[in-house]
Structure 1
Amino acid sequence: MKRFTVAVLTLVLVLAMAMPTLAANGKARVRVVHASPDAPAVDVWVNDSIKAFTNAPFKGITAYAELDPATYNVKVVPAGATTPVVIEANLGLEADKDYTVVAVNTLANIEPLVLVDNNATPAAGKAHVRFVHASPDAPAVDIAVANGGPVLFGNVPFKGVGDYLPVDAGTYDLEVRLAGTTTVVLSVPGVSLANQTVYTIFAMGLAGGSPALAAVPSVDAAPMTMLPVSGGAMDFTPILMGLAGLSLLGSGAVLKLRKR
């Protein structure tokens, strides 16, 4: 694997203004992440009648949408087209739960990875962070604090999830290593984790090709109103995309990390 460096991290803030930090009042919330490296921008149709997302690009992360609990039929097609249908799935949503649906793998093998999110507010002085391995040609990896710091998520394979970890709020230099080694394949400096905020960091792209391997972080929930920020245009009405097939790994440890 080649080594790549992320010089500047641009957080994709996916909270809509005045959006609650987790599902409530009997509703479900869903968002979509486009992590298929060679797939074009896509449109997402719901129940054959609602064009839920338009022209969603690679690395695009939508805001959460609040929905009634139900089962929805979802079709994903190239932007501006009606065929081919690259994903067709039924997504069952339960009341008072948040979901992230990640379109993963190469276009020839594209599939949905459905995650149940925990957007409960962290304790004062803490942030919660999880890691999703969405790079189809990358081997299992460790996520660690740089310069000899602790491993946060160990031996995470493709489509694996390092579940929520409470850490002290602050700014950290992180690195992605080949699992069980000190070989750094991706440097991720300057990761700012704010007080009482929930984050997911996605590994996207290709370890041995283009688009290159990259860390794509998102703010999942925060205790205050935050304006959406994105590195590129994305026209969508947030609703949903997905299928069953939960992939969750547990971790209850609280670590004291070395900050910058």
Structure 2
Amino acid sequence: MMETKNYKTTFLKKGVIILLAVSALTACKKKDDNTPEPDQKARLAILVSSPGAGELLFYNNGKKTATTNALNFNTVINYFAVEPGTGEFGFSKKDSEIIFAKVNYDLKAATHHSLIFTGKFPESEVILVEDDRSAPATDKAKIRFANLSPDAPALDLYMQGKTDPGLSNKAFKAVSGFVNVDPAANPKFEIKTAGGTTVLATLENFKIEKGKIYTIWVRGLIDAGDGPKLGIEAMTN
């Protein structure tokens, strides 16, 4: 007796297998489509340390930015999101739309930068520094040092009586790289002229915690007159 194959049944079985495979691929695709995209924004922090500048407004590509209100001497704005790409950051007086200090930028996605407004007004200027946000060494913190005093000589930063070559001999507008340091509950920071012994300013009661990253800077003037006197400030990056 001749054997008869049911080609219709075989075809249907194959069709079901193909349909299941397509459904599986579609499900995978949907799952992949629902995966959050990596954050493509850049991040910007602002530090204002320009004696005599008064209140300022911040601009990005010529547009006044609502991210910040009027900025005063020694103002710190923590990281906020900005679009990567090229452009210009600038500052004007609060009651003016004339941008009198600016800097060009080329920001990559997922990077961090600090925008520093410094110099004694009206010779104020803007510095843009990329921030290394990599983790400190095991059981350490990281600090860096910036000399933002327009009339100060090159300076050394001491932490608890110690100095690090990476934090020494920083002239005005110089920003060091980050160095690893031991955490400390109540460290004492001192500023001295490069290679000197006279303490020009101190900072105490600023806790250095394991795993965190900090910027220490000198602000104000040696010859202050009625302006802000030389001092040390600190912020967490």
TM-score (normalised: structure 1): 0.70
Q: Are 1:174 and 1:191, in contact at CA under 8 Å, matched by a contact in 2?
A: no
Deviations 1:193-242 (A, max 9, x none): 0110000011111111020111111011xxxxxxxxxxxxxxxxxxxxxx
1:44 paired to 2:26: no
Look at both structures and tell me which one has the larger radius of gyration over its CA atoms: 2
Q: Bigger shift: 119-128 or 191-200? A: 119-128
Task: Return 5+ residue gaps in structure 1 as ranges.
Answer: 1-23, 221-260
Whole-angstrom distance in 1 between the partners of 2:209 and 2:141: 6
Alignment partner, residue 190 of structure 1: 205
Task: Work out which of the residue numbers 44, 61, 67 in structure 2 matches 1:30.
Answer: 44
Please state how far the C-alpha of 1:81 moved relative to its aligned partner: 2.3
1:66 paired to 2:78: no
In the alignment of these two chains, the number of paired residues is 194
- Give the letter for the 1:122 counterpart: P
Deviations 1:154-187 (A, max 9, x none): 1111111222111111131121011101111112
Deviations 1:62-107 (A, max 9, x none): 0111222111233311113223x22133322112211001011111
Task: Return 5+ residue gaps in structure 2 as ranges.
Answer: 1-37
| Secondary structure of the corresponding residue to residue 201 of structure 2 | strand
Richer in helix (by share): 2
Please state how far the C-alpha of 1:56 moved relative to its aligned partner: 0.7
Q: How does 1:76-87 map to 2 (within 5 A)?
A: 76-83=91-98, 85-87=99-101
Question: Whose relative contact order is higher, 1 or 2, with alpha carbons under 8 Å and at least 6 apart?
Answer: 1
Whole-angstrom distance in 1 between the partners of 2:112 and 2:97: 29
TM-score (normalised: structure 2): 0.76
Alignment partner, residue 200 of structure 1: 215
Whole-angstrom distance in 2 between the partners of 1:167 and 1:103: 27
Task: Work out which of the residue numbers 63, 66, 69 in structure 2 matches 1:54.
Answer: 69
Q: Bigger shift: 87-96 or 31-40? A: 87-96
Whole-angstrom distance in 2 between the partners of 1:79 and 1:154: 36
Q: Are 2:102 and 2:126, in contact at CA under 8 Å, matched by a contact in 1?
A: no
Q: Bigger shift: 66-75 or 161-170? A: 66-75
Alignment partner, residue 6 of structure 1: none
- Give the letter for the 1:151 counterpart: T
Whole-angstrom distance in 2 between the partners of 1:81 and 1:55: 12
Task: Work out which of the residue numbers 140, 151, 170 in structure 1 matches 2:163.
Answer: 151
Q: CA RMSD in A?
A: 1.7
Q: Bigger shift: 115-124 or 105-114? A: 115-124
1:218 paired to 2:232: no
Whole-angstrom distance in 2 between the partners of 1:39 and 1:86: 11
1:179 paired to 2:179: no
Ranges of 4+ aligned residues in structure 1 off by more than 3 Å: none
- Give the letter for the 1:141 counterpart: L
Richer in strand (by share): 1
Alignment partner, residue 240 of structure 1: none
Percent same amino acid at aligned positions? 26
